[in-house]
Structure 1
Amino acid sequence: MRRYLIFILLCWPLWASAQKTQEAQEAQDWIAYRDAYRQMIWFEKYGKPKQFLQNHFRIRAREKGASTDGLRLSLNSKNIHQSLTLDVLGRAVFPFSKAAYDDNAELTLNRNASQFRSGAWVSIVTRADGVYAAADLRTACEQMLAYLQYAGAAAGKACVGVQFSYPRSDAAEVVFQTAGGASTALVVREGPAFPDDVQSGFRVVAYRFAAYPENGRIVSSSVPLAIAALLE
């Protein structure tokens, strides 16, 4: 019993220190700019084709109960104070700044940062006219897969399609048109904008390559919030 008490007394300072560190991390409302910069620069330096891809810095909820309504992101340092606009999916245009890097700036949230995941987020570029050649979407998916594999993810995956996402209030229609002009409406359902997200409530339309001819095009009646690659 005495040995057990001595063991506890010896280990207590280490446990208390670890507990304080964990509590400090859970209470933080900031993200190191330098860490985010290192993630984002991967895409900038990527030398293979990526004309159908775009890269954002994204904040997304870890759990379903963590709301992103009213979430605000800003870049702050001794000399910099800049608000960064988040879209409805939590994406922001990342400010590449040598001054912010040198100042060891912080990306600050108005919420507890431990409730959210943050980092680089690549998606497929949307078109204002809503018209997407089937061949381009296949190429976009392959570009996404190649980039993720370059970044050390998506091992063993293959491109099976893409997913269009819309606000719940958007009654957008998405159709596949063959080269001969015949049209087939794609099924609309409710789900997350990106396959791995915990938050749903969006209108999503999956275009799976195997279900349609290689030649043709996808026509969307409005601009989607995002286009995600379906990798399985």
Structure 2
Amino acid sequence: MLCGPRTAAAQEEQDWIAYRDAYRQMIWFEKYGKPKQFLQSHFRIRPREKGTSLDGLRLNLNSKTIQLSLPLDALGRAVFPFSKAAYDDNAELTLNRNASQFRTAAWVSIVTRADGVYAAADLRTACEQLLAYQQYAGAAPGKVCVGVQFSFLRSDPAEVVFQPAGGASTLLAVREGAAFPADVQSGFRIVAYRFASFPENGRIVSSSVPLAIAALLE
């Protein structure tokens, strides 16, 4: 949780998050100067404990002059509004539930494609870009990229296939799990594409747009 002008203990009893604190976290990605064309950044809300649902959760930006609803996707991600007026007004990001049930953070993931076609080389580069950004932000020490993970809603019958430059295609295995390795929220259909298991040349084709693509760092 991001701590604002009140104490962390007081915030545990509230349903708000200081906009200024969220802004300071989100601006890191905006100012990051290294390659990031395969990356995207969201403001994310995720459960602290298993069993806490995101269903019906609503996020709003409120200040003296701004009242704005920020839609959340199935993974609790919202497009963050960079607003000088909201910053100057010391706005609050409010939830319709107790904020102590959730963690909030700037969240970087790999960009999804509408056509479902990903060059293998691009996914390797995307993973390396995400690792470089995390290390810039002080995370993932000693980690290396081993692959990427596609996630889908449980109701989505999507298939993910590796198509080599020559030869037969391979249908990647589907299992149930969390969209991102550190999440407690599970129940998604996930497909791991591990680089060492496939040739470097080829492409990955998804029959529908995934909720997210996460980097697998080990």
Q: TM-score, normalised by structure 2?
A: 0.95
Report the equivalent of 2:104.
118
Q: Structure 2: 5+ residue runs without aligned partners?
A: 1-6
Q: CA deviation at 1:29?
A: 0.2
The match for 1:222 among 190, 208, 215 is 208
Report the equivalent of 1:44.
30
**Percent identity (aligned):** 86
Matched, 1:136 2:122: yes
Q: CA deviation at 1:24?
A: 3.0
The match for 1:104 among 79, 83, 90 is 90
Amino acid at match of 2:130: M
Report the equivalent of 1:153.
139
User: 2: CA distance between counterparts of 1:22 and 1:217?
Assistant: 47
Q: CA deviation at 1:119?
A: 1.2
Q: CA deviation at 1:125?
A: 0.2
Kindly indicate which of the two structures has a greater share of residues assigned to helix: 1
Amino acid at match of 1:119: A
The match for 1:208 among 179, 187, 194 is 194
Which of these two proteins has the greater Rg computed from alpha carbons?
Answer: 1
Amino acid at match of 1:121: W
The match for 1:35 among 13, 21, 42 is 21
User: 1: CA distance between counterparts of 2:209 and 2:71?
Assistant: 19
Q: Structure 1: 5+ residue runs without aligned partners?
A: 1-20
Matched, 1:72 2:58: yes
* Structural RMSD (CA): 1.0
Q: TM-score, normalised by structure 1?
A: 0.90
Matched residue of 1:44: which SS? Answer: helix
Count of aligned pairs between the two proteins: 212
The match for 2:79 among 93, 118, 129 is 93
Q: CA deviation at 1:23?
A: 5.8
Report the equivalent of 2:12.
26
Matched residue of 1:27: which SS? Answer: coil
